[in-house]
């Protein structure tokens, strides 16, 4: 499992789209990916208990 910081992803998004700002969808995707990485590395508690 490799854990990448997502700043590279952000700069890629910006370069592809030619915008100065991420779209809300991209922003959510980046945040979601970051949260998942934090959960995997144990830096953040589980969002929901098992079996719910």
Tens digit of pLDDT per residue, the chain (52 long)? 455 556 777 777 777 777 777 778 888 888 888 888 877 877 656 666 565 5
pLDDT score at 1: 47
Domain locations along the chain: 18-43
Give the residue among 2, 15, 8 at the shortest CA–CA distance from 30.
8
- Cβ neighbourhood burial of 3 (10 Å; 0-12, 13-18, 19+): exposed
pLDDT score at 6: 65
Token output for 25? 């969808």
pLDDT score at 21: 76
pLDDT score at 2: 57
The angle subtended at Cα 30 by Cα 48 and Cα 46, nearest 5°, is 15
pLDDT score at 50: 60
In the chain the first and final C-alpha atoms are separated, in Å, by: 26
């Amino acid at each position: 499992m490799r854990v990448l910081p997502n700043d590279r992803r952000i700069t890629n998004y910006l370069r592809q789209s030619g915008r100065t700002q991420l779209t809300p969808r991209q922003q959510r995707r980046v945040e979601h990916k970051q949260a998942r990485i934090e959960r995997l590395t144990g830096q953040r508690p589980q969002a929901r208990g098992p079996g719910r």
